[in-house]
Every structure is written in structure tokens, then in C-alpha cells.
């Protein structure tokens, strides 16, 4: 079963991050001439929406996986092949055209292929890659609970990580390394995604509802009261979407963007900056430069999705199915 509203939310999250980078973040790094960019500040929190979606989807995937290897193949085929293609493309374009302050050495680019290179203190080929380390860490943690058959209570166990972040932000001495390894500053959003899945697929639960409420309240400490109000709206919209009460989201433009959202997220920032630099630094209109960067980013993402992500994912899962499952249901459809 495919939840089209979830695809639409992916598209919205991706475009929010694109707007943030092309307007607000670019203005911080290089400066836009006579262009107001402060309005795009909230776009960065499209990342948190991605984390919520990941919590929802990963729990969904694990709950349908009959064996551990199902999950490993599912995530590897979904994440790595197109990531490697995006990394090679981004590194090549930045190396050829230049991007002051954001270039990396070849050895760093090679280590980026691991996707968890941040733990090795290796600079990112593209700044957005920091979230991939966070995602992989979440996958590993929830996979451990799957192995030990603790998915029934996983949202409670993972919430202890959120508590550590809250305590640290209130002055309690907790090692920063522990906060990083347990992705404590981001775990509330992954946990909320799991809670939303359980509430919409398993029915109302006081325990799950309490964890969801606490995950939202933690944003008061981790961010601010104003941001807690903002995330309240995000949570509400997400719940409406995954419970089938927001069918209007399933519009073709949003579904298209949702379909290419991963590749778009991976490639838009530095490649987009190269395009904006090429136009605006030669006297071109900055708004025109941004529009062109968006069109290029969407075109690149479409090509990577169509010719790399989908074929490689289908191939890997097909081979795995033949070798390991012998025509049994694979549970690899998310």
C-alpha cells in the first residue's frame, strides 16, 4: 500500500529546504543583491519533517520485514546507489566550476561514500549530507530494537534519548559524544513518526499518545516556545495526512516532487549555488538565478531518480528476492 499524502509531504519538505538554501542560506554565505531572504528561514525545518516521515516509514518497513536482511536490503537499495551518483555529480561540478568555501579534497569525497563519514570528522561534499548520518544512526538504533523484538515499546526506549537532550539543554552535564551518537537533538521527530504510525495503524493508545505529546513539548527546550507552536501545526498536518483526512495533498505537482525528493535533497544545494553564482555574479537578477537553479535542480533530480535510483533499487531488490526469499513477500515496498 502506498500513502500518496506521505509522498506529497516529502515533496513539500524537499521544496522547503530548497527555498531555505537558495534564498536564506545563500544570502548568508555569498549575499543576494537587493533580495529579501529572511522569509525563507523556516524552510530549514523541512529537515524535521523528513525526520518525522522517516520515523513513520522505517517503523512501517520493519513491522513488515520477515527477517533482518529484508530491512537492510530495503534501506541500502533505497539510499546508497543514488547517493553515490549524486555525490559524484556534485563533487565533479564543484571541482570544475568552483564554489568558494564549500570545496573538499578528493580523499574526503571518497570517505563521503560511507554516508556516516561525519563520525570520522570528514567534511561533507554537500552540506545537506549531515542529515544522512543522522538518518543512518536512527536506522541502526531502531534496527537493534527490531533484532531484540522490542518494537512494541520502541518509542518509549528511544524517548530516553530525547530526555538526555532536554537535560543537557537545561545545564545537566552529559557528554556531547553521547548526545551525538544517540541523535538526541533530533530523536523527538523520529519518535513522533513512530507514534503517528502506531496511532493510525494500531488504534489509540495512552502510552503512545503521551510519548507523542512529550516529544512535541521537548521542542520548547530544544528550540523555543514559538517553534513548539510551529511544530504543533506540523504534527497536526502530518496526522491529518497519514490518517487520510488531507486528500487534497495528493496533487500531481506535489506527488512529482515527492517522487524525486531524495535525489532533489541530495543535489540541490551546491549545484544550485554554482548556478546562482554563475548568473548573479555576472550581473544577472538574483531571483532569475534562483528560478534557474530550481529548474536545474529539479531536472537533475528527475534524471537521477529515473535513471539511477529506481532502476538500481528495483534491480537490487529483485536479485535479493531471487536469492533469499524464493518468491516469498519481501516487505520492501516503502
pLDDT at 54: 97
Number of Cβ atoms within 10 Å of the Cβ of 169: 17
The answer to whether the CB of 273 falls within 8 A of the CB of 102 is: yes
Number of Cβ atoms within 10 Å of the Cβ of 88: 14
Residue with cell 530526555: 163
pLDDT at 328: 57
**Residue 93 domain flag:** yes
pLDDT at 196: 98
247: which DSSP letter? G
Q: Is the dihedral of CA 313, 318, 319, 323 positive or negative?
A: positive
Number of domains in the chain: 1
**Residue 113 domain flag:** yes
**Residue 109 domain flag:** yes
The answer to whether the CB of 306 falls within 8 A of the CB of 285 is: no
pLDDT at 327: 60
The answer to whether the CB of 323 falls within 8 A of the CB of 294 is: no
pLDDT at 1: 56
**Residue 196 domain flag:** yes
**Residue 333 domain flag:** no
**Residue 330 domain flag:** no
Half-sphere exposure of 87 (CA within 13 A, CB side): 24
- Cell numbers placing 18: 530548497
The answer to whether the CB of 268 falls within 8 A of the CB of 301 is: yes
Q: How far apart are CA 322 and CA 312, in angstroms?
A: 15
Give φ, ψ of 250 to 5 degrees: -80, 55
**Residue 331 domain flag:** no
Q: Strand, coil or helix: what is 318?
A: helix
Q: Of 286, 320, 323, 328, which Cα lies nearest the Cα of 22?
A: 286
Q: Which domain holds residue 69?
A: 4-325
**Residue 179 domain flag:** yes
The answer to whether the CB of 145 falls within 8 A of the CB of 156 is: no
Tens-binned pLDDT, residue by residue, of the chain (334 aa): 568 999 999 999 999 999 999 999 999 999 998 899 999 999 999 999 999 999 999 999 998 888 899 999 999 999 999 999 999 999 999 999 999 999 999 999 999 999 999 999 999 999 999 999 999 999 999 999 999 999 999 999 999 999 999 999 999 999 999 999 999 999 999 999 999 999 999 999 999 999 999 999 999 999 999 999 999 999 999 999 999 999 888 899 999 999 999 999 999 999 999 999 999 877 889 999 999 999 999 999 999 999 999 999 999 999 999 887 566 554 444 5
- Global pTM exceeds 0.85: yes
pLDDT at 99: 96
Q: Show the CA angle centred on residue 251, arms to residues 250 and 255, nearest 5°.
A: 75
pLDDT at 313: 97
pLDDT at 115: 97
Amino acid at each position: 500500500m502506498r500513502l500518496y499524502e506521505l509522498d506529497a509531504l516529502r515533496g513539500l519538505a524537499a521544496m522547503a529546504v530548497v527555498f531555505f538554501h537558495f534564498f536564506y542560506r545563500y544570502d548568508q554565505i555569498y549575499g543576494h543583491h537587493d533580495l529579501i531572504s529572511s522569509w525563507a528561514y523556516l524552510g530549514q525545518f523541512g529537515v524535521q519533517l523528513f525526520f518525522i516521515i522517516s520515523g513513520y516509514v522505517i517503523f512501517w518497513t520493519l513491522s513488515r520485514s520477515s527477517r533482518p536482511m529484508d530491512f537492510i536490503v530495503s534501506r541500502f537499495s533505497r539510499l546508497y546507489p543514488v547517493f553515490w551518483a549524486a555525490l559524484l555529480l556534485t563533487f565533479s561540478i564543484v571541482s570544475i566550476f568552483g564554489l568558494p568555501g564549500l570545496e573538499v579534497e578528493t580523499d574526503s569525497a571518497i570517505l563521503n561514500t560511507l554516508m556516516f563519514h561525519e563520525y570520522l570528522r570528514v567534511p561533507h561534499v554537500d552540506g545537506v549530507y549531515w542529515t544522512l548520518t543522522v538518518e543512518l544512526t536512527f536506522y541502526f538504533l531502531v534496527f537493534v530494537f527490531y533484532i531484540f523484538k522490542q518494537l512494541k515499546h520502541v518509542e518509549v526506549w528511544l524517548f530516553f534519548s530525547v530526555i538526555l537532550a532536554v537535560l543537557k539543554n537545561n545545564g545537566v552535564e552529559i557528554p556531547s559524544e553521547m548526545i551525538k551518537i544517540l541523535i538526541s537533538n533530533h530523536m523527538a521527530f523520529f519518535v513522533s513518526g513512530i507514534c503517528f504510525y502506531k496511532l493510525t495503524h494500531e488504534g489509540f493508545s495512552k502510552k503512545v499518545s503521551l510519548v507523542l505529546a512529550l516529544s512535541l513539548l521537548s521542542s520548547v527546550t530544544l528550540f523555543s516556545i514559538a517553534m513548539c507552536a510551529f511544530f504543533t501545526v506540523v504534527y497536526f498536518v502530518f496526522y491529518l495526512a497519514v490518517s487520510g483526512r488531507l486528500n487534497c495533498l495528493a496533487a500531481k505537482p506535489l506527488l512529482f516532487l515527492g517522487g524525486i525528493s531524495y535525489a532533489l535533497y541530495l543535489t540541490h544545494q551546491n549545484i544550485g549555488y554554482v548556478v546562482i553564482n554563475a548568473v548573479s555574479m555576472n550581473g544577472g537578477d538574483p531571483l532569475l538565478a534562483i528560478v534557474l537553479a530550481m529548474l536545474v535542480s529539479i531536472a537533475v533530480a528527475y534524471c537521477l531518480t529515473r535513471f539511477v535510483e529506481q532502476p538500481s533499487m528495483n534491480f537490487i531488490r529483485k536479485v535479493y528476492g531471487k536469492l533469499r526469499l524464493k518468491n516469498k513477500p519481501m516487505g520492501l515496498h516503502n
